[in-house]
Structure 1
Amino acid sequence: MNQIHYLYLYLLSPLHTGGTTQEGNLVGIARESHTNLPYIPSSTIRGRLRASVNDEALRVQLFGPELTDIKSPTASETSPNLSPESSQLEQGDIWLGDASLLWLPVSSLSHGVVWISSPMLLRRWARFVADLSTIPNPYSTNLVSETTENPRPIYLKDAIIKDSLQPWSNWQAFVPQAGNQSEIQRVLLLPDQHCSTLIQMSLWRQVKIKLDAHKSVEGGFRYEEAIPPDTLMYVPWGVTSQVNSKATTKRGQELANRRQGLAEGYGMSSTENGVDLARGLFELLLDEEERNILQIGGQESLGRGFVQQFR
């Protein structure tokens, strides 16, 4: 199995991705069927990253061609590295998974904002992180220390935590951050069920109404859900298994040669294998400054869905 990598998304504004159903006047967000927790579909993230790539050859190599690429008769002219033979539906070099919750902010009367997670959410994330095999117990927090005899209660939204608090010394190992800067400074690990309940209560719900020219309500109203800003999510990604196997065929050799040419064009070493080249090209793409801030989901004109991505 190829190595699993992570791309992190720190929400800068509320983020809404449409769900599969609409209940009454509530426009929900995408949720996991077994946990009911919000997530961002991989197709949404993949499509946004793909659309941000101007280099057609690189876009097709990493994400595969679209129907418009196949039907375009001048594809090979606009991009020398994109041969006419590549105009067929095929898998790209990179796969992307869904974005899952890692830390979500909740309001606190005692500490302003506290970021919460649960053992289940941490285990999911740490599944492929070898040095994070031990998940702390529920009610671990960096808001108390071992020398504190009577820890100060943590007042969360509709919850008070005071009797079971445990000091958490290595909490920073469970909070990925961009460089040396992290907005997440106050963390609390809750039992799975309690954490899930607080997450549902902390989602943004905005009332939408339509006003006529006289500022009177026209028609009905609806609620729209959104994942709150300052939430930290992660996206697993990796290199498709076909990157190595493709080279055994004539078409596979053409793709390998194109990957090699792209790598050399972007200043990468020519001695790396196909997996390393594909991973390196995608990491170069992610590290470009123009992709530091991305807009995911709908309502861009309202300033929604802006995230800071890092790896």
Structure 2
Amino acid sequence: MFNLAYLYLLSPLHTGGTTQEGNLLGIARESHTELPYIPSSTIRGRLRASTPHKNRNRLWGNTIEDVMGGENTNLTQGQVWVGDGSLLWVPVPSLSHGVIWISCPMLLHRWQRLTGQSLETVAAYSTNLGNKKPVYLKDAILKGDQLKLWEKWQEWIPIREQTQIQQVLVLPDQHCKTLIETSLWRQVKVKLDQHKTVKGGFRYEEAIPPDTLMYFPWGTVAQLNGAAEKVKSDLRDVFDSHPILQIGGQESLGRGFVQLVPWEVNYGL
């Protein structure tokens, strides 16, 4: 059994990747799609730090530091598990419509499988923008006759009231991936000396753009049995007391602030 929690990005979010290519400091990416994601360890660490000390080790398990400095020499497993954070809707600039949130059948059906909802199949080029005017995106032009009017689009946007998502477009998987890649934030950083002269080279740092909607699954470990509801209640208290979280790096630059919205699913795999 598990639930979902949603993350609506209030500022660009940077989670370090495993490799650095040239002067580009990348973000964490799925190995099979190359799409950005938030590693579960990053989310888990943030939630653990936000949990009251009296419940911290019980919910999340102890750490090596706890073992080294205490009487208990064994690492213990926590009562909660957390999954990776996945993209659902990503904002892209549009010359004709301002901002449009895009997704693709792969991302939408991945979310649908986790929720267990029986929703209609979503096809590429579905939109709520109408099918007469062309849509000018950052690096693409879609003619009106390519687009299919999507009447039930709101069913595919959870926590819609807490977001700014109003204009949506479903693209083919490969085209969506390309547009997401070109819509990532890339900040140039240089090192200055005491005279504010550039010292050394420069680098680019990637980030997922604000107003992106993401989600992650969470649940309790199987062996809890009757204690699961108590654990879920304690974790919901953490969610409720921290509606805004900071995830990832560059906190001093205002990066990684997200609106956290828990959502009951209670779906069993």
User: Do the structures match in fold with TM over 0.5?
Assistant: yes
Partner Cα distance (1:203, 1:39) in 2: 12
Partner Cα distance (1:40, 1:131) in 2: 24
Of residues 163, 178, 187, the one that matches 1:206 is: 187
Task: Name the one with the larger strand percent.
Answer: 2
Which has the higher relative contact order, 1 or 2, with Cα contacts under 8 A spaced 6 or more apart?
2
The reply on whether 1:9 has 2:7 as its aligned counterpart is yes
Per-residue deviation, residues 154-202 of structure 1 (Å, max 9, x unmatched): 1111101123111111111111117x33311111000101001101111
- Greater Cα radius of gyration, structure 1 or 2: 1
Normalising by the residue count of structure 2, what TM-score does the alignment of the two structures yield? Answer: 0.92
Residue of structure 2 in register with 1:304 after alignment? 255
Report SS of the residue matched to 1:158.
Answer: coil
The reply on whether 1:34 has 2:32 as its aligned counterpart is yes
Q: Does the CA contact (< 8 Å) of 2:101 and 2:167 recur in 1?
A: yes
Q: Does the CA contact (< 8 Å) of 1:122 and 1:135 recur in 2?
A: no
Partner Cα distance (1:128, 1:208) in 2: 39
Q: Does the CA contact (< 8 Å) of 1:26 and 1:222 recur in 2?
A: yes
Residue of structure 2 in register with 1:135 after alignment? 121
Partner Cα distance (1:135, 1:280) in 2: 34
Residue of structure 1 in register with 2:215 after alignment? 234
Alpha-carbon RMSD: 1.6
Partner Cα distance (1:188, 1:114) in 2: 7
Q: Flag structure 2 segments of 5+ consecutive residues without an equivalent.
A: 263-269
Q: Does the CA contact (< 8 Å) of 1:116 and 1:189 recur in 2?
A: yes
Report SS of the residue matched to 1:127.
Answer: helix
Partner Cα distance (1:214, 1:70) in 2: 47
Of residues 122, 129, 148, the one that matches 1:166 is: 148
Residue of structure 2 in register with 1:280 after alignment? 233
Q: Identity, % of aligned pairs?
A: 61
Per-residue deviation, residues 74-101 of structure 1 (Å, max 9, x unmatched): xxxxxxxxxx77x731211110001010
Normalising by the residue count of structure 1, what TM-score does the alignment of the two structures yield? Answer: 0.80
Specify the code of the residue in structure 2 equivalent to 1:59. R
After TM superposition, give the deviation of residue 309 of structure 1 in Å: 0.6
Q: Does the CA contact (< 8 Å) of 2:25 and 2:204 recur in 1?
A: yes
Partner Cα distance (2:51, 2:117) in 1: 34
